Each structure stands twice: as C-alpha cells, then as structure tokens.
Amino acid sequence: MTLFQELNAAVAPLVPGLVTAGVLILSLLLLRLLLRRERVREKLRLPWRLTGFYLVLIVAMVLATRYWPEGYGVLSAVALLVLGLAVILAVSFGIFDVFLGRYRRVPVPRILRDIVIAVVYVVTIFVVLGRHGLDLSSILTTSAVLTAVVGFALQDLLGSIASGLALQLEHPFAVGDWVRFNEQEGRVLEMNWRSTKILTLHADVVIIPNNVITRQPVINFTSPDPIHRRRVEIGLPYDTPPKRAKQALLKALRGIEGVLGTPPPSVLLRRFGDSAIEYRVEFYIGDFARRELVEDEVATRIWYQLHRDGLSVPFPVRDVILHRDDESHAEREAERAREIERIVLMLRRVPFLEPLSPEERQQLAGRIKPASYAAGETVIREGDEGDSFYVIAEGEVEIRVGDKGQEQVVARLHAGDFFGEMSLMTGEARTATVVTCCDCQFYVISKRAFESLIAAHEALVEDIGAKLETRRTELEATRSRSENESESERSDLQSLVGRIRRFFNLGG
C-alpha cells in the first residue's frame, strides 16, 4: 500500500469529526462578530482552544497510523472527547448566554448551567468509550459499591452542592446584595457549587457552605426593596414634655444625607427609665452599606439640636462636689462677663448695629444666646418665617438661593459675618437658605432681645433702617438682579423704616 493510500485510509474515518470541527469554527467566528463589544465573548476562549487541540490530535492520529498504530485508538478517543466538550461548551454558550440571556433576558443560574454541561458530557464520555469497545456494564456493576462509599464520604460536599442548586433556583439573594446569615453580615461576592462568599464591613471575606445557609434564616437587606429602617435610642430628662422632645428629635433629622423623606421618620416613647424618658428615633435609608455612617450623622445632629434647644441627656452618675457657694458664683459671673465681652466685640463688626451705644451693645450682648450647628445643617431655609439674626462666631456657611427649582451658592460667610437681619427687623420671610460648611458657633439675636432697645430709643429705627437699606442693595447686587427692575419692586428707605416700626409695634 502506497503512502497516499495509507493517508487516505487514515483520514477517511476522521471526515465526520473534521466537518463538525469546521462547523464549530464557523459558529465561533459568527458569535465573536456578533458579540464584538461584549465581555461575555470571553467565555468562547475555551471552545476555541479545545478545537485547536482537537486539530492537533487529528494530525497526531494520521501520523500514528504509520509510526504508532497501537496508540491510534487512544488518540481517537481523546480527540472525540475534546471535540465533544468543545461542542457542548459552544452550544451551552449559544443557548444560555446568547439566546436566553441576551435576547430573552432570562438569567440562568451558573450552577444549573454547570450541571447541564456536566450531565451531557458524562453521557458523551460513555458513548465515546462504548464506541471504542469499553464494556460499560462492568464499570456500572463494579462502581455501585464504590459510588456508595464515595457518596458516604462526600455527603457534606454533595449536600452543599444540592443546597447551592436550590439557592440558585429559589434566588433568595444575588451577587451584590447585602445579606445576613445568623451572625454573618455582608455583601455577596460570589455563589458557586459548594459555598457563598460575602464581604463584611470589616473588609473580611467569609466563606459559608451552602448547606449551612439553607438550614438557617436568610435576611436580604437589598432585595426586593433597598429601603431599610434604622433606629437610634436616646434618653431625655423627665422635665421635658414628650411633645417637645419629639419635635426636637424630628427637627434634627431634617436635611441629613442618606435619611429618606418617604417613609417619614418617627419618634416613639419607649419607656420611663430610672433616670430618663427613653425615646427611639426611627428613620429609613436607601443604601444599607452606609448605615453606620448615617446613624453616626443622625446621632451627631441630635446632639447639636438638643444643645440648641437647651435639652441635656441625663445619665445615672452622682457627683459629690464640695465648694463654697460664693466662690462658685463668682467664677460663673466672671466667665459670663468674659463671654459677654466676646459678644460685644462681635457686635461691633456688624454695620447695622453701629447706631447702638456701648451700653446698648452691652445690654444686647447679655440677651444673646449661643447656638452650635454641625457641618451640613440648614440654619435657615428660604421662604420660612423668622425673627432672628445670626452672627458667625466660628466656622463658615454657604448662602444658597433657589433658581428654577435648584439652589445655587451665591456667597460664603465666615467668622464675624452675619445674616438674617431683615427677618429680625421686619419679620419678612427668609430670602436665602444658609447651610453650614463645617461645625459652626453662632450668636443668635431674637426679636424679643432687640425690641426693648427699639422701644426705648425709637430714633434708632431711622439709623438702623439706613444701614439695612445699604446692606440690602449690596446683597441684591451680589445676587445679580436685573438693572431693569422697576423702582416699584424695590423697598425705599421710608417704606423699610415703616415696616420696622410696624413689626415692633411702634406706630407712626
């Protein structure tokens, strides 16, 4: 027999496999073109490599007919198994990823896909081995006892695999969800045959066997709704009426980033404790991963709000202090005098208060209340009513003005600056929103603190009105109002003075 005849005889049985490989190559090329810009095409790499390996085995089989006839059968079986795996992977990709995933939008669990591929490939192995003369009945007979032994030894592993399949079919959580399994809480990183990996807030990766997960309650904080309720508990003094306490706590929650407005926050009186009335502040968040940061911000804002409202958080500690009343009183008076001097110095920097005499500034300083605000808090809101005036002792604030439904920052004020003077003197609604940029300390002048000075010295109204009109003109220029605005829309000095008189019930 000539060499050509030998080659022809060796290649003839391989034609069906080569045709299958050719069709597979064309199909893979078509899929690569169809999914050119999608990451899912990376799954085609293994079928490509298996097909190339099959072609290498074909060449080896042709050479084996002449140089290694005994190995031809082994190479033929291996080649069919390699080609079968390549075809199974390509077909599964086309069905699960392209047809169901891309076009029908039906996600198929990875574990289910792997089981289908494994079952089909096992059947392929038995078919190929049967064609090559292997007695499968003897293998099945002898493997019954072996299967029982292996199954008993691997029962935990097989239980985890079965549980993994159940989790994929029921879909109680997905990759990226925040979940809790007993004491373990974190974000799901991966779900495989045997286990589920989660990443905790401590940046630790916890691997939990699937059969453990299916035997305990699973809490999903992300699905089907990411909204989650959180709570902060606090005790307030018995002499604080519950209604006032609840109003203060709810006010503290306004404007906190991460706290949802719907559903609205609520405050519940939980019980009467030994040293305080205990309240529970409940609110909702939409990002479970930020829960601790939001709770921290809520607790911080509550402290600032309670401090401004003159409320304290009692604690069951008893201090016994021995001192002389006269010395303690003298120290408090000295500290109060120093604080008043600091306030007087701040008031001297306020232009519209220049008409006040030193005695009147001293008198006014004694009636001013300090107020602390945390970073990001809204001090006053545009459109709200008000009758108070703020001098910045420490910190920095932003002045924001609404424009077509959106707020724009028009100015920044620092220590020594002031705002809210028009509301103090005329009672008009706030014309801007003021938000703190950092922790701030303010001196707050209320109408009640100012009206006695106005009532005793009505001549101050004219001087203060002139200062306010100048200030108003400067602010209007800062806000870039149109120069074509009619004079009827502006408040002249006399109308402003009249509004001040009416607000303080001075007549005239």
Quick one: how many helices (H) and strands (E) in the chain?
A: 16, 16
Closest to 374 measured CA to CA, from 435, 324, 285: 435
What residue segments make up the domains of the chain, in order of their start? 3-134, 172-220, 228-308, 329-479+490-503
Which pLDDT score is estimated for 487? 45
Tens-digit pLDDT profile for the chain (508 aa)? 455 555 566 667 778 888 888 898 898 888 888 777 666 667 788 888 999 998 998 888 888 877 787 887 888 888 888 999 999 988 988 888 888 877 777 777 676 777 788 888 888 888 877 776 666 555 555 555 555 555 555 566 666 677 777 777 777 888 889 999 888 899 999 887 778 899 998 889 999 888 888 888 889 998 888 999 999 999 999 989 999 999 999 999 988 999 999 999 999 999 998 889 999 999 999 999 999 999 999 999 999 999 988 888 887 655 455 555 555 677 778 888 888 888 888 888 887 777 788 888 888 888 888 888 988 899 999 888 888 889 898 999 998 988 766 788 888 999 888 888 878 777 788 888 999 999 999 998 888 887 777 776 666 677 677 767 776 676 666 555 444 444 444 445 556 566 666 665 655 5
CA distance 277 to 299: 17
SS3 295: helix
Q: Which residue has the tokens 């003197």?
A: 425
205: its two tokens = 């990766």
The CATH fold assigned to 172-220 is SH3 type barrels. (2.30.30)
Which pLDDT score is estimated for 292? 92
SS3 450: helix
Pick among 3.40.50.1860, 3.30.70.100, 3.40.50.1370, 3.40.50.300: CATH of 228-308: 3.30.70.100
SS3 279: strand
Q: Are 438 and 395 in contact (CB under 8 A)?
A: yes
Q: pTM surpassing 0.75? A: no
Q: DSSP for 46-71?
A: HHHHHHHHHHHHHHHHHHHHHH-GGG
Closest to 371 measured CA to CA, from 427, 448, 446: 446
Which pLDDT score is estimated for 228? 92
Range 184-221 burial, b when 16+ CB lie within 10 A, else e = bbbbbeebbbbbbbbeeeeeeebebbbbbbbeeeeebb
Closest to 51 measured CA to CA, from 73, 91, 79, 93: 79
Which pLDDT score is estimated for 342? 87
**Close Cβ partners of 506 (under 8 Å, ≥ 6 residues apart):** 454, 455, 458, 461, 500
SS3 401: strand
Which pLDDT score is estimated for 482? 40
| 329-479+490-503 carries CATH number 2.60.120.10 | yes
